[in-house]
Amino acid sequence: MNSKIFSSQGSRIIVALLLLGGLSACSGPIEPWVKPYERDRLADPIMLMDGDPVSSAYIQHVYEAREGARGGEGGAGGGCGCN
Among the listed residues 25, 23, 4, 27, the one whose alpha carbon sits nearest the alpha carbon of residue 15: 23
Q: Give the pLDDT confidence score for residue 78 in this predicted structure.
A: 54
Per-residue pLDDT of the chain (83 residues; tens, 9 = 90+): 455 555 677 788 888 888 887 777 666 677 778 888 888 877 877 777 777 888 888 988 888 888 776 655 555 555 565 65
Q: Give the pLDDT confidence score for residue 80 in this predicted structure.
A: 63
Q: Give the pLDDT confidence score for residue 72 in this predicted structure.
A: 55
Distance separating alpha carbons of residues 16 and 22, to the nearest angstrom = 10
Q: Give the pLDDT confidence score for residue 82 in this predicted structure.
A: 60
Q: Give the pLDDT confidence score for residue 54 in this predicted structure.
A: 87
Q: Give the pLDDT confidence score for residue 25 in this predicted structure.
A: 67
CB 75 within 8 A of CB 64: yes
